């Protein structure tokens, strides 16, 4: 989230598109209700299904799964045509005025630089037109056709209301009404908040769905302000923490990128990181990158990381391909390239696409280790259940080790919520039986590995042998010790550069990342967490809910990264003079000498408004990007591509139907179905009564939602002779599910490119362990294809067929 849960109540319009917050985030959803009651906010829901969120909305519009870019490009077209944008904001705070390099173009579904042989882009032209000093040229009058704003206008001009409706199936009048509600927040004192989750991410164009709305928000001046922002409602209680501390395979803690094998030396690595300012006088905060990465290396290797060895740079892994995501891991298992798998708190047989492929992959392993409090389907994959069940466990040679672990309530620790708050929690109970903590198990594996490296050498022992492991109990480091290590501390006395006085003795916990150094005198395991555990104590454990302006900012409740800042980019909440755009809901303002307010300024606090430094200081030009440069895999502007399985051709460019840069393996192409055989669109989702695949182990949840079902609209049910509560067989090219039909008014057929299109809803919670009735699982049906930037699987738009059937024999 750029903003916070509490801040939602400041919104004038709340749009839930690409998620179902009332169902999946029922506690946080109370802030939407507060926005409605206290602020008179309008709640708008755009979803293929009339959801629990839609049931309390002021306005609902249906949409075909996988077509949000067409919808949102149509919104941009509407805003630009009606001139419903916040002009002063767009001119001063976005890259609208900057000129784009000459070679950049878009034609017939491809951006410039496409290589049809490698199916990838050379992004050289996805850049600004730079002057001799390397600064981006600009035309503040917007006359030059190469201005970002003019290229954007041209790009979205194809998305007329007629075209939007033809692609998305959203009736034109409903689309236009949503546009009107959105446009009402272009006023400087009005804000819209965008709440989204998997309805946007789980597509082969997922990241561009989100970009499209971020662009809408920039055009409206809704980023950085109270009640605005792009608010990803996250999943597991600590999934935000997972990405923060670098558990994605191409990242290190604090979103620092893992080196690639093209970056053989530390200098090579740093060359592409320091982001020289792209406008004169601009602050480009990532000029501090070296301080973050050296401090991380010092945290990893302590005294062994020296200036001479570039702080242990050679010990960092170097990626040989862009990344090893989970889809890739299962591809490698299937090809025999990965033979062992440690599966910690993860149930891929249930959770990952094309279950048959997952099962085949696991069956080829030499060993599988699961670390889980529960008996998961993955740990018993050899018993698989369903029509595709191999039922020959004796032929599977994989050795499975199940390690029972404790869970969050059985240990101290912190969870990072969607609002980036690190909240400490305290142990409430002892773990049952022989369950041990994740930390204890991981430490044990580490010590045994290190012992083996010590004794046997091995290919490359240095990264493991040099690890710094100075914990009170090396067998099980204390969560507080780990938290302090993440925060960071000084390794030598720090002195004031002018007076030479000692400002912090060696060993002092850092107050913030501003104190980090690139000379090896500071260590920090995750620079964005610096300030979370200081000499004043554990900031994550704070529980003071005082909210001085009653505006949803309680600075002493827990601690938010970065720097305890609650609203990101909050400099943009004020105008060019430093006064709040919305005087009723100021966030930070210029008080004559510095930036101050109810939040920690996202800016250099002493930079005067007249210095004309852009508010987005993490970007080298300091501006919000309507043109994304080379950061996205498939283009600097979002473009509508059909899902890999789609009921319609791409009416904009039939020859380039799908995202050209999506994550798809050649072997998987044969497993995609066609609309002739699988005529219905399916989408998968969750229910409040279950949490993924765990709560079916609890009797109460199993009673609330006892068995697998699919939702089918009344029209299709009638056409197919499917009865309410009757058995149906849902099939895709990859497998079939037999379950009960829930016939509903909440899904209506859509007219897509002139043809009626039916959507089938597939909740995902059932498997073959636990208390609920056995089910085949939604992912028996889903395709193995991922988003081009994040590799998130396309769980939300694929094709199936459905037929009434007899009850299965069990």
| 562 preceded by a cis bond (ω within 30 of 0) | yes
**247-283 CB burial, b ≥16 within 10 A, e <16:** ebbebbbbebbbbbeebeebeebbeeeeeebbbeebb
Rounded least distance, CB 775 to ligand MGD, Å: 13
Report the candidate in 722, 805, 787, 734 with the shortest Cα–Cα distance to residue 760.
Answer: 722
Binding string, 351-380, against ligand MGD, x = CB under 6 A? x-------------------xxxx-x----
Shortest reach from residue 799's CB to ligand MGD, in Å:
14
The CA angle 234-237-240, to the nearest 5 degrees, is 50
Question: x/- string (CB under 6 A) for ligand MGD, residues 167-206?
Answer: ------------------------------xxx--x----
Q: Does 235 interact with Mo ion (rule: CB under 5 A)? A: yes
Residue 120 CB, nearest approach to ligand MGD (Å): 25
Q: Give the span between the Cα atoms of 683 and 692, in whole angstroms.
A: 16
210: partner contacted, choices Mo ion, ligand MGD, none (Cβ within 5-8 A by kind): none
Instruction: Give phi and psi for 642, each to the nearest 5.
Output: -70, 150
Nearest distance from C-beta of residue 17 to Mo ion, angstroms: 18
Q: How many CA atoms lie within 13 A of 275 on its CB side?
A: 17
Stretch that binds Mo ion, among 14-22, 60-68, 98-106, 227-235 (CB under 5 A): 227-235
- Residue 239 Cβ vs ligand MGD, minimum distance, rounded to whole Å: 6
- Window 537-576: contact mask with ligand MGD (x via CB under 6 A): ----------------------------------------
438 Cβ partners below 8 Å, 6+ apart?
A: 344, 345, 371, 405, 406
- The one-character DSSP state at 663 is B
Q: Which two tokens stand for residue 582?
A: 């919305």
How many Å apart are CA 797 and CA 759, to the nearest integer? Answer: 9
Partner touching 325 among Mo ion, ligand MGD, none, CB below 5 to 8 Å by kind: none
**What single-letter DSSP state applies at residue 388?**
T
Minimal distance in Å, beta carbon 73 to ligand MGD? 14
Q: Candidates 28, 62, 66, 246: give the one binding ligand MGD (CB under 6 A).
A: 66
| Interface stretch with ligand MGD, choices 43-51, 464-472, 492-500, 550-558 (CB under 6 A) | 43-51
Q: Residue 683, interface with ligand MGD (CB under 6 A)?
A: yes
Q: How far is the CB of 378 from Mo ion (least distance, A)?
A: 16
> Closest approach of Cβ 235 to Mo ion, in Å?
3
CA distance 243 to 416: 10
- What DSSP designation does 430 have? P
For position 51 contacting ligand MGD by CB under 6 A, the verdict is yes
Residue 351 beta carbon to Mo ion: minimum distance, rounded to whole angstroms: 9
Residue 408 site contact among Mo ion, ligand MGD, none (CB < 5 to 8 Å, cut-off depends on kind): ligand MGD
Residue whose CB is less far from Mo ion, 235 or 635: 235
Position among 7, 10, 19, 645 found at the interface with ligand MGD (CB under 6 A)? 19
Residue 791 is a binding residue for ligand MGD (CB under 6 A): no
From the list 229-237, 459-467, 669-677, 705-713, the region that binds Mo ion by CB under 5 A is 229-237
Binding to ligand MGD by residue 50, rule CB under 6 A? no
The Cα 295–Cα 292 span in angstroms is: 5
Indicate the pairing of strand 114-115 with strand 120-121: antiparallel
- Which of 252, 405, 419, 620 binds ligand MGD (CB under 6 A)? It is 405
Spatial distance between the Cα atoms of 296 and 294, rounded to a whole number of angstroms: 5
Q: Which of 12, 20, 150, 240 binds ligand MGD (CB under 6 A)?
A: 20
**311, 339, 449, 457, 781 from 453: Cα distances, Å:** 21, 20, 6, 5, 43
Smaller CB separation from ligand MGD, 156 or 687: 687
Residue nearest to Mo ion (CB): 235
Angle formed by the axes of helices 326-334 and 355-363, nearest 10°? 60
CB count within 10 Å of CB 486 equals 23
Centre a 10 Å sphere on the Cβ of residue 124 and count the other Cβ atoms it contains: 12
The answer to whether 113 and 83 are in contact (CB under 8 A) is no
Q: Which stretch binds Mo ion (CB under 5 A): 111-119, 233-241, 495-503, 731-739?
A: 233-241
- Letters for 692-731 (x = contact with ligand MGD by CB under 6 A, - = none) are xxx-------------------------------------
Least distance to ligand MGD from the beta carbon of 798, Å?
9
- Taking 3-state DSSP, the helix, strand and coil percentages for the chain, each rounded to the nearest 5, stand at 30, 20, 50
Q: Which stretch binds Mo ion (CB under 5 A): 235-243, 514-522, 683-691, 724-732?
A: 235-243
Nearest distance from C-beta of residue 22 to Mo ion, angstroms: 17
Q: Kindly provide the residue ranges of all beta strands, DSSP E only, lying in 505-626, ordered along the sequence.
A: 522-523, 533-534, 537-538, 559-560, 588-590, 595-597
Which CB atom, from 375 or from 714, has the smaller least distance to ligand MGD? 375
What is the smallest separation between the CB atom of 249 and Mo ion, expressed in angstroms?
17
Q: Could you tell me if 692 and 777 are in contact, meaning their C-beta atoms sit under 8 angstroms apart? A: no
CA distance 418 to 464: 33
Between 18 and 290, CB nearer to ligand MGD = 18
Q: Write out the residues near Mo ion by the rule CB under 5 A.
A: 235
Q: Write out the residues near ligand MGD by the rule CB under 6 A.
A: 17-21, 24-25, 46-49, 51, 63, 65-66, 68, 197-199, 202, 235-236, 344-347, 351, 371-374, 376, 405, 407-408, 438, 683-686, 688, 690-694, 764, 778-779, 782, 795-797
């Amino acid at each position: 989230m750029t903003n916070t849960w509490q801040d939602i109540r400041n919104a004038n319009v709340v749009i839930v598109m690409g998620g179902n917050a009332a169902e999946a985030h029922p506690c946080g959803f109370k802030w939407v209700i507060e926005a409605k009651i206290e602020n008179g906010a309008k709640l708008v829901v755009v979803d293929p299904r009339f959801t629990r969120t839609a049931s309390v909305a002021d306005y609902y519009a249906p949409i075909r799964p996988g077509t949000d870019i067409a919808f949102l490009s149509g919104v941009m077209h509407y805003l630009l045509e009606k001139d419903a944008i916040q002009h002063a904001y767009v001119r001063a705070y976005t890259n609208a005025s900057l000129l784009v390099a000459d070679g950049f173009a878009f034609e017939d579904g491809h951006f410039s630089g496409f290589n049809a042989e490698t199916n990838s882009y050379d992004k050289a032209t996805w850049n600004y037109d730079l002057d001799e000093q390397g600064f981006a040229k600009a035309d503040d009058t917007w006359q030059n056709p190469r201005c970002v704003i003019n290229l954007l206008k041209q790009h979205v001009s194809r998305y007329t209301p007629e075209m939007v409706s033809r692609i998305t199936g959203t009736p034109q009048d409903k689309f236009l009404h949503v546009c009107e509600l959105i446009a009402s927040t272009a006023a400087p004192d009005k804000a819209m908040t965008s709440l989204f989750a998997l309805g946007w991410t789980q597509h082969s164009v997922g990241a561009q769905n989100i970009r499209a709305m971020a662009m809408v928000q920039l055009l409206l001046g809704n980023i950085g302000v109270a009640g605005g922002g792009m608010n990803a409602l996250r999943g597991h209680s600590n999934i935000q923490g997972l990405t923060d501390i670098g558990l994605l395979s191409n990242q290190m803690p604090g979103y620092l990128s893992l080196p690639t094998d093209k970056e053989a030396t530390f200098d090579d690595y740093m060359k592409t990181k320091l982001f020289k300012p792209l406008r004169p006088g601009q602050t480009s905060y990532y000029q501090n990158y070296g301080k973050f990465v050296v401090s991380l290396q010092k945290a990893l290797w302590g005294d062994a990381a020296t200036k001479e060895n570039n702080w242990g740079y050679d010990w960092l892994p170097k990626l040989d391909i862009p990344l090893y995501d989970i889809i890739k891991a299962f591809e490698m298992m299937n090809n025999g390239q990965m033979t062992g798998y440690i599966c910690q708190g993860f149930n891929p047989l249930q959770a990952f696409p094309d279950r048959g492929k997952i099962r085949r992959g696991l069956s080829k392993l030499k060993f599988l280790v699961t670390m889980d409090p529960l008996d998961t389907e993955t740990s018993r994959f050899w018993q698989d259940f369903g029509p595709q069940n191999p039922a020959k466990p004796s032929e599977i040679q994989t050795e499975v080790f199940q390690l029972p672990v404790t869970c969050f309530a059985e240990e101290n620790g912190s969870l990072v919520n969607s609002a980036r708050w690190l909240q400490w929690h305290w142990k409430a109970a002892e773990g049952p039986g022989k369950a041990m903590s994740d930390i204890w198990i991981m430490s044990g594996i580490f010590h045994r590995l290190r012992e083996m490296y010590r004794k046997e050498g091995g290919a490359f022992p240095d990264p493991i042998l040099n690890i710094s492991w100075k914990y009170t109990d090396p067998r099980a480091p204390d969560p507080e010790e780990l938290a302090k290590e993440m925060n960071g501390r000084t390794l030598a006395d720090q002195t004031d550069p002018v007076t030479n006085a000692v400002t912090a003795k060696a060993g002092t916990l850092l107050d913030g990342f501003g104190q980090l150094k690139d000379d090896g005198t500071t260590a920090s395991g995750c620079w964005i967490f610096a300030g979370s555990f200081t000499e004043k104590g554990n900031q994550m454990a704070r529980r003071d809910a005082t909210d001085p302006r009653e505006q949803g900012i309680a600075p002493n409740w827990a601690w938010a990264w970065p720097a305890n800042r609650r609203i990101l980019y909050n400099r943009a909440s004020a105008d060019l003079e430093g006064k709040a755009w919305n005087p009723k809901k100021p966030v930070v303002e210029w008080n004559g000498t510095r930036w101050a307010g109810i939040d920690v300024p996202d800016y250099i606090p002493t930079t005067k408004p007249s210095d004309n430094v852009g508010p987005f200081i993490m970007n080298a030009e300091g501006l919000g990007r309507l043109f994304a440069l080379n950061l996205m895999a498939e283009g600097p502007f979002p473009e509508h591509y059909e899902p890999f399985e789609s009921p319609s051709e791409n009416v904009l460019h039939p020859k380039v139907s799908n995202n050209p840069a999506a994550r798809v393996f050649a072997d998987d192409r044969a497993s995609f179905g066609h609309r002739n055989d699988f005529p219905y669109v399916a989408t998968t989702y969750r229910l409040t009564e279950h949490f993924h695949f765990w709560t079916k182990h609890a009797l109460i949840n199993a009673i609330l939602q006892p068995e697998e079902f699919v939702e089918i609209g009344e029209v299709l049910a009638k056409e197919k002779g499917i009865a309410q509560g009757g058995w149906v067989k849902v099939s895709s090219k990859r497998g079939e599910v037999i379950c009960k039909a829930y016939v509903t008014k909440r899904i209506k057929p859509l007219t897509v490119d002139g043809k009626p299109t039916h959507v089938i809803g597939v909740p995902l919670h059932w498997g073959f362990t636990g208390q609920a009735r056995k089910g085949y699982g939604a992912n028996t049906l889903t395709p193995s294809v991922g988003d081009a930037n994040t590799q998130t699987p396309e769980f939300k738009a694929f094709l199936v067929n459905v037929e009434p059937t007899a009850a299965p024999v069990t």
